[in-house]
């Protein structure tokens, strides 16, 4: 992933900076000591003393930690391999220095000034202990960066899963909606052919909206209101004028006011499906309003006692799931069934200021 590459670059940059500082220590030390035993040979000697630690770090950082600790999680094998590597390196250094001491005259002193020794002028067990400390810090840094990378990958995977689930829920709504609308047009054909043609044109506009605009995460509130208006116009053709249908909305809506697509239409569909009776007075009242921070949709319809199908409320349940995925707890959905002849749904959602 792109994030993992950035993590690796950041981690390697940290190592480069640390080792650059360590390599510069002997040079800076020579500058600070003035004219006492300053020579490029002493600096090279100090770098030679640093080199075992650098070799251990390269082996640990490039091979032992990635393979045994990060990828395979073989902690025992990691500790054994790390111990063997550190011991082997400093054992070779000890053997080299032993033979070097036999070949070097006693009057050529090592790089020791006023009792201050270079990094590895210590007993071998101290060098091994320091090597373990260094590799431990290296392992901790790698685990930290790995943890950050895993967390980012989990967030990315979670985001993709949420998007896939929202798309699935949205596509569940669309067939349900178009099935009802086609049934309306089918009923209209037997009543008035010209009106049926007009209804098909309106339906094609609605399909265009669903196909091309509902794929966006957010659409303008004005477009969604126009979509609902087209739907209501189709429903008006099907039902008689005795049914009280009203739709109130702001005349002027800024383009920046946006909402997720196909949320409000489910409530309007349910109102027509369950709130209309052919032999009893019926009404459907829809009201949409907005502020700078919220959009509110209120749908009220008459209630008529009737046997309810087993799968009633699938559209509403899908809306609940979508709202939870999009807003978590940042929305309000209130359903009022307290009155026997009135059913009211009120949804308030945050405004998206970028269409």
Res 201 pLDDT > 90:
no
Report pLDDT digits (tens) over 286-313.
999 999 899 999 999 998 865 454 444 5
| Residue bearing tokens 């009633």 | 312
- CA 104 to each of CA 101, 133, 160, 195, 213: distance values in angstroms, whole numbers, following the listed order: 5, 32, 67, 109, 83
Would you say how long the chain is, in residues? 355
**What is the rounded average pLDDT for all residues in the chain?**
79
Give the 3-state secondary structure percentages of the chain, helix then strand then coil, rounded to 5.
Answer: 60, 15, 25
pLDDT bucket at 170, cuts 50 / 70 / 90: low
Let me know if 231 is exposed, middle or buried by CB neighbors in 10 A (0-12, 13-18, 19+): buried
The answer for residues whose C-beta is within 8 angstroms of residue 324's C-beta and 6 or more apart is none
Question: Among the listed ranges 65-69, 139-143, 169-173, 309-313, which one has the minimum average pLDDT value?
Answer: 309-313
Q: What would the mean pLDDT of 37-59 be, rounded to a whole number?
A: 79
- pLDDT at residue 263, as a whole number: 86
Pick 236 or 246 by higher pLDDT.
Answer: 246
pLDDT at 273: 84
Question: How much of the chain, in percent, has pLDDT values that exceed 70?
Answer: 79
Cα separation, 237 vs 183, in Å, equals 12
The model's confidence at residue 39, banded by pLDDT at 50, 70 and 90, is low
Whether the Cβ atoms of residue 274 and residue 324 lie closer than 8 Å to each other: no
> Where would I find the H helices in 243-298?
264-274
Q: Which residues contact 354 (CB under 8 A, 6 or more apart)?
A: 218, 256, 258
Domain boundaries, the chain: 2-154, 191-350
Structure confidence at residue 346 (pLDDT)? 96
Q: Percent of the chain having pLDDT more than 90?
A: 22
Q: Dihedral of the CA atoms 162, 165, 167, 168 (nearest 10)? A: 180
CA 98 to CA 187: how far, in whole Å? 102
Query: What does CATH list as the number for 191-350?
Result: 3.30.565.10
Tell me the C-alpha distance between 108 and 22, whole Å: 25
Convert the pLDDT of each residue in 82-109 to its tens digit: 999 999 988 888 787 777 667 665 544 4
Q: Give yes or no for residue 337 having a pLDDT over 70.
A: yes
Extended beta strands in the chain, E state = 112-113, 116-117, 219-220, 244-248, 258-259, 283-290, 294-302, 332-336, 342-350
CA distance 169 to 88: 61
């Amino acid at each position: 992933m792109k994030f993992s590459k950035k993590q690796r670059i950041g981690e390697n940059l940290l190592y480069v900076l640390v080792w650059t500082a360590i390599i510069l220590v002997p040079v800076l030390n020579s500058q600070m000591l003035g004219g006492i035993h300053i020579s490029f040979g002493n600096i090279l000697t100090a770098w030679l003393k640093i080199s075992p630690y650098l070799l251990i770090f390269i082996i640990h950082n490039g091979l032992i930690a990635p393979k045994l600790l990060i990828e395979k999680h073989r902690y025992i094998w990691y500790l054994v391999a790390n111990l063997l590597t550190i011991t082997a390196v400093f054992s070779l250094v000890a053997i080299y220095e032993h033979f070097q001491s036999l070949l070097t005259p006693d009057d050529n002193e090592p790089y020791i000034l006023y009792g201050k020794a270079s990094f590895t002028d210590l007993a071998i067990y101290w060098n091994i202990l320091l090597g373990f400390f260094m590799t431990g810090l290296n392992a901790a840094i790698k685990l930290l960066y790995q943890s950050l990378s895993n967390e980012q990958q989990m967030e990315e995977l979670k985001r993709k899963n949420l998007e896939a689930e929202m798309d699935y829920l949205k596509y569940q709504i669309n067939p349900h909606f178009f099935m009802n609308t086609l049934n309306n047009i089918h009923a209209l054909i037997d009543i008035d052919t010209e009106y049926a043609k007009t209804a098909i044109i309106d339906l094609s506009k609605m399909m265009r909206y669903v196909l091309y605009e509902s794929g966006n995460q957010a659409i303008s509130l004005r477009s969604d209101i126009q979509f609902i208006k087209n739907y209501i116009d189709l429903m008006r053709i099907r039902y008689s004028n005795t049914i009280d249908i009203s739709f109130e909305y702001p005349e002027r809506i800024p383009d920046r006011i946006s909402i997720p697509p196909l949320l409000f239409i489910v409530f309007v569909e349910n109102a027509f499906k369950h709130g209309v009776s052919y032999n009893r007075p019926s009404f459907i009242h829809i009201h949409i309003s907005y502020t700078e921070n919220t959009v509110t949709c209120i749908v009220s319809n008459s209630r008529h006692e009737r046997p309810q199908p087993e799968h009633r409320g699938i559209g509403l349940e899908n809306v609940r799931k979508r709202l939870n995925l999009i807003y978590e707890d940042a929305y309000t959905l209130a359903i009022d069934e307290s009155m026997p002849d009135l059913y009211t749904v009120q949804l308030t959602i945050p405004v998206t200021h970028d269409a």
